[in-house]
Amino acid sequence: MAESYETLGGWFEYLNSDCDYEKWSQYLLNKLKGASAGRVGLDIGCGNGYFTRALNRAGYQACGIDISPAMLSVARQKAAKEGIRCEFLLGDITKLKVCGKAHFAVAINDCINYVPPSKLSAAFRRVYSSLCGDGMFFFDISSENKIRNIIGENLFGEDGEDISYLWFNTQTEEGVKMELTFFVRRADGAYDRFEETHFQYAHREEDIIALLKEAGFCRVETEGHLGGDKAERINFFAYKR
């Protein structure tokens, strides 16, 4: 999966700029404050580090973790540019191992959709083990409805000044295969072409809740994106106690 982000990793935050990162991060911070979360956290699947930076600006000690070296390279550059001192580590949620215990972990913007159903149990157990006794795990998924009916077999694309892409989707039994072609502008004005393949799994809400409880989380709550409906995105809030 790390190789899937060789090109996208450098442009991920830029290409997702329309998702209103500021509003999304404020929602996350409000949830953490409402849950009286401790100050030490993990941002799993941190990508280019937007939420890691937001957490640290808000006074948390958050470490960003991602499976993609390309993602992490940009994350470190952005944090340094903004004068934010935080750690970014290469890691896989299904094999997660950290020094010490965190008060909370977050996994924002589809991280869990990249985990195969056969590895979800291992992922949740790893997160559970990384948290202190009253720790909490907040994450989201693109809903089964979104994977099946919105992404589906559809074609997406964008024509930008510095980067353009075509995004072809093919349904499979477990989710959707995403084939992306990027055209990235060079300094001389010519464009380089890159191709990547991604796979997102269509997880069911009830299956995730069951696996979280099997991993040891005693309480699980859910709601839709930013507190709205669950048509496209579902948020999970899992507590060790």
**Which residues neighbour 99 within 8 Å (Cβ) at sequence distance 6 or greater?**
none
pLDDT for 233 equals 98
Mean pLDDT of 72-98: 96
Amino acid at 84: I
| Predicted pLDDT at 56 | 98
Q: Which residue has the higher pLDDT, 65 or 13?
A: 65
Work out the percent of the chain whose per-residue pLDDT is above 70: 97
Q: Which two tokens stand for residue 86?
A: 């935080």
Q: What is the mean pLDDT of the chain?
A: 94
Which pLDDT does position 1 carry in this prediction? 52
**Whether pLDDT at 105 is above 90:** yes
104 pairs with which residues across the strands?
A: 41, 136
Beta partners for residue 105, in sequence order: 42, 137
Distance (Å, rounded) from C-alpha 214 to C-alpha 230?
Answer: 23
Residue with the two structure tokens 């934010």: 84
**Is 237 a residue whose pLDDT tops 60?**
yes
**pLDDT by residue (tens digit) across 173-218?**
999 999 999 999 999 999 999 999 999 999 999 999 999 999 999 9
- pTM of the shown model: 0.93
pLDDT of 8: 73
pLDDT at 150 (0 to 100): 95
Say yes or no to pLDDT of 2 above 80. Answer: no
Q: What is the pLDDT of residue 55?
A: 98
Q: What pLDDT is attached to residue 15?
A: 82
